[in-house]
Amino acid sequence: MSKKVVLAFSGGLDTSYCAKYLSETLGYEVHAVTINTGGFDKNDEVLLKEKAEKLGVASYRFIDASEKYYNDCVKYLIFGNVLKNNTYPLSVSAERTIQAQTIAEAALEIAADAIAHGSTGAGNDQVRFDLIFNVMCPKIEIITPIRDLSLSREDEIQFLKDHNYEMDFDKAKYSINKGLWGTSVGGKETLTSRFSLPEDAFPSQVEKTEPSSLEIEFKNGELISVNGETFSHPVFAIQKIEELASPYGIGRDIHVGDTIVGIKGRVGFEAAAASIIIKAHHLLEKHTLSKYQQTIKSQLSDWYGNWLHEALFLDPVMRNIESFLQDSQKIVNGKIFITLHPYRFVLNGIESENDLMSSKFGSYGEENLAWSGDDVKGFTKILSNSLNIYHQVNKLN
C-alpha cells in the first residue's frame, strides 16, 4: 500500500504543485487538509475541495480553526498591541503556528507516514511548520518539495501544465495568504529593495472614497461591538471591521524584517481590521492603564511578537507573558471613535468609565485639583537633587 502523507493545502501554486508531485512523482497517498484561520468563507471551501479533487488527492478536509486562532493567539496580539518592527501585525507569522498544530493533529489521527507543506527554503514558514511538527509528531517524516528541489514559481507552473492541471497562472505570480489578522502579498517586487507592489496585486481594491464613521468597543481588552452591533465571538467583530474598512485600502504596507534563517526579507500586506484594532486598543490603554503598566507591557509585547514570529510559540515563557497580558486588560474598557478615509483612518477619541484623564482631578495645562504651586516647587527640588550633585561633582555645564 502507498504511504500516507498529509498535505497542508491552501489551493495556491505551491501546494497545488505539492499535491501533484507527491502523488504522481513520489507515489504517496495524498490527504489534503486546509486549515481556515479566518481567510476562507463557505464559497472558498467549495472551491478548495474542487481544486484538491482535480489534483487527484485521496481525501480532502477543511478544518475551521478561526476561533482557536483568536483564542490562542490573536487575542494576545491585541492585548500587546503587537506590530513587528512597528509595522507588521504578524498576519502570517501568527496563523502558521495554529495551522501547523492543527495539521499535526490531523496527521496523527490518520497515522500518516509523512507531513508535507509548500514552504520555500528562504523564508520563515519552513521553520514555523517544521518546528511544530518536530515537537508534536517527531516520528512523522516532513516533506517539503519546493524547498527540497529549490523550485522557482516558473518551474512549478511548467510542471502543473505538463501534468494537465490548469489554474489562473497570472494570479499565481503573487503569493497571497489571507487570514483573520491580515493578508500577505509576495511577488517579484518584494524580492527587491526598490519596488512597491502594484495596486492590482492587493486582493482588496479601493472602492470607497467618502469618509465614514466607525465605533468599536472593548471590554477587558476584547472586542464586543462594532457600530453598536454585538457578536457571539470576537472573530466576527474582526471580520465586520475588515468588511467596513478594506474597501478604503486601509492597512496596506510593506514589512521589511530579519528572517529566522538570517536574511532580510520584504513582504507586502493588507490588514485593515488588524491595523485599526491595534491602534484603537492602544489608544484606549493610554487612557486606562498606568504609566508603568504601559512600560512593562510594551517590553513584554515586543518579546512576545518576536518569539511568535520566530516559531517559538510553544515555549512556556509565552504562556507566562500571556498571563501578564490577560491580567493587564481588567480595566481596558470603552469605546473608540474612528473616521475611515481612503488609505488611512483617524482615531478621534474614546469614552471609558476607566478613563484616568478625569476632569475631577484637573485639566492638563490648565489647572489641577490635587496640589499647589508650592508643592511642585518642593517636589522639583527633591527630584533634581541627584542631578545637582552629579553635575557639581563633575563640573559639567
Mean pLDDT of the chain: 94
**Alpha-carbon gap, residue 56 to 46, rounded angstroms:** 16
Task: Please report which confidence band the pLDDT of residue 397 belongs to, taking 50, 70 and 90 as the band edges.
Answer: low
Percent of the chain predicted with pLDDT > 90 = 86
In tens, the pLDDT along 182-214 reads 999 999 999 999 999 999 999 999 999 999 999
3-state secondary structure 265-330: EEEEEECHHHHHHHHHHHHHHHHHCCHHHHHHHHHHHHHHHHHHHCCCCCCHHHHHHHHHHHHCCC
The arithmetic mean of pLDDT across residues 155-166, rounded, is: 93
Phi, psi (5° rounding) for residue 340?
A: -95, 135
**Tens-digit pLDDT profile for residues 314-326:** 999 999 999 999 9
Q: Is the pTM of this model over 0.75?
A: yes
Percentage of residues in the chain having pLDDT higher than 70: 97
3-class DSSP state of 29: strand
**Residue in the block written with cell 508535507:** 116
Closest residue by Cα to residue 180 from 265, 103, 65, 52: 65
- Under 8 Å between Cβ of 82 and 75: no
Rg from Cα positions in the chain: 25
In the prediction, which pLDDT does 176 show?
87
Helical ranges in the chain per DSSP H: 13-20, 42-54, 66-69, 75-79, 91-109, 125-136, 145-149, 153-162, 234-245, 272-288, 291-309, 316-327, 373-394
pLDDT at 364 over 70: no
Residue 28 — φ and ψ, nearest 5°?
Answer: -80, 155
Asked whether 305 and 90 are in contact (CB, 8 A), the reply is yes
Cell numbers at 182, concatenated: 491580515
- Are the beta carbons of 31 and 4 closer than 8 angstroms? yes
Given this model, what pLDDT does residue 9 score?
97
Q: Phi/psi zone of residue 74: left (φ > 0), alpha (ψ -120 to 50 degrees), beta?
A: alpha
Instruction: Return the pLDDT at 146.
Output: 96
Distance CA 79, CA 228 (A): 22
Contact 273, 236 (CB under 8 A): no
Look at strands 4-8 and 29-36 and give their pairing: parallel
- In this model, does residue 252 exceed pLDDT 90? yes
HSE toward the beta carbon, residue 14, CA cutoff 13 A: 26
The gap from C-alpha 166 to its chain's centroid, in whole angstroms, comes to 31
What is the pLDDT, as a whole number, of residue 358? 74
Walk me through the domains of the chain, giving residue ranges and CATH numbers.
4-163 (3.40.50.620)
- Does the pLDDT at position 57 exceed 90? yes
| Integer angstrom CA distances of residue 220 from 74, 326, 333 | 15, 8, 6
What local confidence, expressed as pLDDT, does residue 94 receive?
A: 93
Q: CB–CB of 336/216 below 8 Å?
A: yes
pLDDT average, residue stretch 19-29:
97
Please indicate whether residue 392 or residue 135 has the higher confidence score (pLDDT). Answer: 135
Q: What pLDDT sits at residue 390?
A: 86
Does the pLDDT of residue 65 top 90, yes or no? yes
Pairing of strands 344-351, 4-8: unpaired
Q: How far apart are CA 156 and CA 149, in angstroms?
A: 10
Cα distance between residue 352 and residue 289, in whole Å: 12
Read off the pLDDT band of 365 (50, 70, 90). Answer: low
CA 33 – CA 74 distance, rounded (Å): 22
Least confident of 105-119, 258-272, 274-288, 363-377: 363-377
**What is the CA 81 to chain-centroid distance, rounded?**
11
